């Protein structure tokens, strides 16, 4: 009895998450690292943000973060967006760690839909928020059948789906969240990061943890792990690219650019990674 109470601790001044639950998340994350790409079920707690708003990423971040960390939170590549700002203040207010926007100085990065342009190092951890973790949902509705398919590495229907897509549309139409094989064994949905970011997961220096709060699963791509998009040998993997597009702020052409349309039809492009863009402007 006393041990449990001791373990439970006194909790922070404004508690979000009790210590025993953080331990559970850490255990799941360790399992996820040990079996790359396998979706580890965990008893996901409700967070002070709604389900679908990063409750899984938040649990992973809270289980990892300490007062000595420098935390960067981005949404769509931005540090300053409403959702990123909200999650950052929640964690920083809870843990008392440092806020960081510079990718190079951050020790822990929670992100929604992007991997930063600046390559991450071995001493950095990326936490991706996951709205829908199951790549097989595209071809199979039944959860039990999905689990069987993963267990037996039976991804035949994914290949058939890819083939049909190609035949019907002339190109592979899957946009963000492109299904990938991890370590040649498990198929994952790399969250809706653009296809542009998928190569950054392959043989990366850093650890990536994926937290799906609503679906109660955690999975991982450990450092130096193969991550291969599901493609046919003779149909190359295409990433988002628009010929001639360059960031109107920093001039970058090799970063992930998002459109800024206007009603007169003129289209401008800007970097989605605002930290990268700001530093790139200073360089110029």
Partner 1 sequence: MGYSGASGGHEAVLAAEKLVERRRYGGASAWLGIDQITGRLGLAVDRVMGEGGLWAPELAARALRQAEGDVQEAAQLIRAHRSTVPRVAYSEPVHADELRISRRISPAFRNPPGSQLLGRTLDYVGRLLDLMPEDQARARLQAADPSPEPVPAAHDLTANGHPTANDHVTANGHPTANDHVTGNGHEAGGHDGGAHGDPRRPPRLLRLLRSMGMVVDRRTEGDPEPYDITRAPIRPGVPRSARLTAMARAETGALVHLWYANTFQPGRHNHEFPGEVRHGALPVRVRHPLTGAPVTVTEVRVTEVETIDDLDRAEEDRSRLDLGYGMCFGHNERKAIAMAGLDLLVHRDAGRTGVEQEVLLTLDGIEASGFLEHLKLPHYVDFRSVLDRKRAVRAAMEEAVAR
User: Which positions are annotated as active-site residues?
Assistant: 37, 247, 250, 271, 277
- Of 161-220, binders to partner 1 (CB under 8 A) are 169-171, 173-177, 192-196, 214-217
Whole-angstrom distance, CA of residue 53 vs CA of residue 60: 14
Complex with partner 1: residue 83 or 253, whichever CB lies closer? 83
Whole-angstrom distance, CA of residue 22 vs CA of residue 215: 17
Residue 137 as a binder of partner 1 (CB under 8 A): the answer is no
**In which element (H, E) is residue 258 found?**
strand 257-261
Task: Give the distance from CA 37 to its chain's centroid.
Answer: 13
| Least distance from partner 1 to the Cβ atom of residue 26, Å | 15
Binding-residue total with partner 1 (CB under 8 A): 76
Complex with partner 1: residue 128 or 225, whichever CB lies closer? 128
Residue 75 as a binder of partner 1 (CB under 8 A): the answer is yes
- Of 19-58, binders to partner 1 (CB under 8 A) are 19-21, 24, 41-48, 50-53, 55
Give the tokens for residue 21. 């639950």
| Least distance from partner 1 to the Cβ atom of residue 177, Å | 7
Whole-angstrom distance, CA of residue 40 vs CA of residue 219: 6
- Of 114-133, binders to partner 1 (CB under 8 A) are 114, 131
| Least distance from partner 1 to the Cβ atom of residue 54, Å | 9
Complex with partner 1: residue 69 or 215, whichever CB lies closer? 215
Residue 144 as a binder of partner 1 (CB under 8 A): the answer is yes
Complex with partner 1: residue 34 or 50, whichever CB lies closer? 50
Q: Which 8-state DSSP code applies to residue 46?
A: P
Q: Which stretch binds partner 1 (CB under 8 A): 71-79, 120-128, 153-161, 226-234?
A: 71-79
Residue 17 as a binder of partner 1 (CB under 8 A): the answer is yes
Residue 258 as a binder of partner 1 (CB under 8 A): the answer is yes
**Which residues, other chains included, contact 151 with Cβ-Cβ below 8 Å and sequence gap of 6+?**
none
Q: Which stretch binds partner 1 (CB under 8 A): 108-116, 118-126, 150-158, 225-233?
A: 108-116
- Residue in 27, 31, 35, 81 binding partner 1, rule: CB under 8 A: 81
Strands (E), 60-206: 70-75, 98-99, 108-112, 125-129, 180-182, 186-188
Give the tokens for residue 171. 């190109």
Residue 280 as a binder of partner 1 (CB under 8 A): the answer is no
| Least distance from partner 1 to the Cβ atom of residue 123, Å | 26
Query: Buried (b) or exposed (e) across 94-109, using 16+ Cβ within 10 A?
Result: bbebeebbebeebbbb
What are all long-range contacts of 197-202, with beta carbons under 8 Å and residues at least 24 apart?
A: 197/114, 197/115, 197/256, 198/227, 198/229, 198/237, 198/239, 199/239, 200/115, 200/119, 201/115, 201/227, 202/226, 202/227, 202/228
| Least distance from partner 1 to the Cβ atom of residue 103, Å | 15
Give the tokens for residue 24. 């559970």
């Amino acid at each position: 009895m006393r041990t449990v109470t001791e373990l439970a601790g006194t909790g922070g001044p404004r508690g979000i998450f009790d210590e025993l639950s953080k331990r559970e998340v850490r255990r799941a994350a360790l399992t996820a690292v040990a079996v790359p790409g396998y979706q580890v079920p965990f008893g996901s707690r409700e967070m002070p943000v709604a389900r679908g708003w990063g409750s899984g990423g938040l649990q992973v971040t809270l289980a990892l973060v300490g007062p000595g960390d420098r935390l960067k939170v981005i949404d769509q590549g931005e540090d300053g967006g409403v959702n990123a700002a909200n999650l950052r203040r929640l964690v920083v207010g809870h843990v008392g760690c440092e806020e960081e926007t510079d990718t190079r100085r951050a020790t822990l990065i929670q992100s929604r839909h992007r991997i930063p342009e600046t390559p991450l190092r071995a001493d950095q951890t990326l936490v991706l928020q996951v709205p829908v973790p199951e790549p097989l949902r595209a071809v199979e509705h039944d959860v039990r059948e999905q689990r069987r398919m993963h267990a037996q590495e039976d991804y035949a229907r994914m290949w058939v789906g890819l083939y049909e897509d190609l035949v019907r549309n002339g190109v592979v139409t899957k946009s963000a969240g492109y299904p990938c094989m991890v370590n040649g064994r498990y198929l994952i949905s790399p969250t809706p990061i653009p296809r542009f970011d998928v190569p950054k997961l392959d043989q990366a220096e850093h650890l990536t943890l994926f937290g799906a709060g609503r679906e109660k699963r955690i999975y991982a791509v450990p450092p130096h792990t193969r991550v291969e998009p599901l493609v046919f040998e003779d149909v190359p993997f295409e990433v988002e690219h628009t010929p001639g597009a360059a960031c109107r702020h920093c001039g970058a052409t090799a970063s992930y650019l998002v459109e800024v349309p206007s009603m007169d039809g003129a289209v401008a492009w800007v970097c989605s990674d605002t930290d990268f863009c700001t530093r790139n402007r200073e360089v110029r």
